[in-house]
């Protein structure tokens, strides 16, 4: 089983030590659980993901009320990026690092969200609702088979993401030289709106890869502790999605 997701791929590309038939019998049994099998289950993923988002929300609430400066945003995002690289390329998952990543993201998002809210009252609740709606919509389409992480889908999505980040970098550089007006985090006038729409679409579709690799990880019998990596992978994508939705709404409200 080969993973196409760069965050989840390090561990989920490892074959399970149990035979597929044994795994199916184990997980289909009424008493199947990670405590009995030592393997990751969907319940593990949901529990770990929920805990990580609880950490993010608690730290984010503190950052919001503390009214911290943009230095907190840089610390959160840069520190989170460094931890994300370590976690993604580490063979053995370290829950402490994943929890620290969630805390740093909470610091950055809480501060940044408060900043946006001061300019556009109500924008944070709109962005949260939009993020939840996108997540639920993609999950439903994945579950009913409308969206599938086929090789063609994966290649097209990764290619589009590379193009998106290159275009975003060009737009950012152009804004530094005063070419047009910047919108959101970066962008040149209409290009900023295009990037925001593309960012929301790409982040939403990357959830398909997350769901697919979690499902494959469970089927192949990865260790229970890999639920932390699965939760981390989901958090990375959902945070990206939230930021893109936030940026898109801010652009639309400037019109």
Kind plus residue range of the DSSP H or E element containing 53: helix 42-66
> Which residue did the predictor score with more confidence, 252 or 191?
252
pLDDT at 39 over 80: yes
pLDDT at 98 over 70: yes
Q: What is the mean pLDDT of residues 45-53?
A: 95
At 115-138, the pLDDT tens digits run 999 999 999 999 999 999 999 999
Nearest residue to 185 via CA among 53, 106, 176, 177: 176
Q: What's residue 107's pLDDT? A: 96
Q: For residues 3 and 213, is the Cβ–Cβ distance under 8 A?
A: yes
pLDDT at 47 over 70: yes
Q: What's residue 48's pLDDT? A: 95
Confidence tier at 169 by pLDDT (50, 70, 90): confident
Kind plus residue range of the DSSP H or E element containing 27: helix 20-28
Q: For residues 234 and 49, is the Cβ–Cβ distance under 8 A?
A: yes
Triad 26, 227, 23: Cα angle to 5°: 15
At 175-226, the pLDDT tens digits run 655 554 444 444 445 677 888 899 999 999 999 999 999 999 998 888 899 9
Its pTM stands at: 0.81
> How far apart (Å, rounded) are the C-alpha atoms in residues 107 and 101?
10
**CA 181 to chain CA mean position, Å:** 29
> How far apart (Å, rounded) are the C-alpha atoms in residues 187 and 193?
8
Q: What's residue 21's pLDDT? A: 46
Q: How many CB atoms lie within 10 A of CB 132?
A: 14
């Amino acid at each position: 089983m080969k993973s196409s997701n760069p965050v989840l791929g390090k561990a989920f590309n490892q074959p399970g030590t149990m035979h597929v038939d044994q795994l199916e019998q184990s997980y289909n049994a009424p008493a199947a659980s990670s405590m009995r099998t030592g393997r990751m289950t969907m319940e593990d993923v949901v529990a770990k993901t929920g805990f990580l988002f609880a950490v993010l929300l608690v730290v984010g609430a503190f950052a919001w009320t503390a009214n911290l400066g943009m230095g907190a945003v840089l610390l959160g995002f840069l520190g989170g990026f460094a931890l994300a690289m370590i976690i993604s390329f580490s063979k053995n998952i370290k829950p402490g690092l994943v929890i620290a990543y969630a805390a740093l993201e909470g610091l950055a998002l809480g501060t940044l969200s408060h900043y946006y809210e001061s300019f556009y009252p109500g924008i944070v609740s709109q962005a949260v609702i939009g993020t939840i709606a996108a997540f639920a919509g993609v999950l439903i389409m994945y579950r009913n088979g409308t969206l599938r992480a086929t090789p063609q889908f994966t290649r097209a999505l990764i290619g589009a993401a590379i193009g998106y980040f290159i275009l975003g970098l060009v737009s950012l550089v152009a804004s530094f030289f005063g070419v047009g007006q910047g919108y959101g985090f970066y962008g040149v006038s209409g290009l900023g709106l295009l990037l925001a729409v593309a960012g929301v679409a790409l982040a939403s579709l990357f959830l398909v890869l997350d769901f697919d690799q979690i499902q494959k990880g469970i089927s192949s019998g990865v260790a229970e502790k890999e639920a932390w990596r699965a939760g981390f992978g989901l958090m990375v994508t959902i945070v990206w999605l939230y930021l893109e939705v936030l940026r898109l709404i801010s652009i639309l409200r400037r019109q």
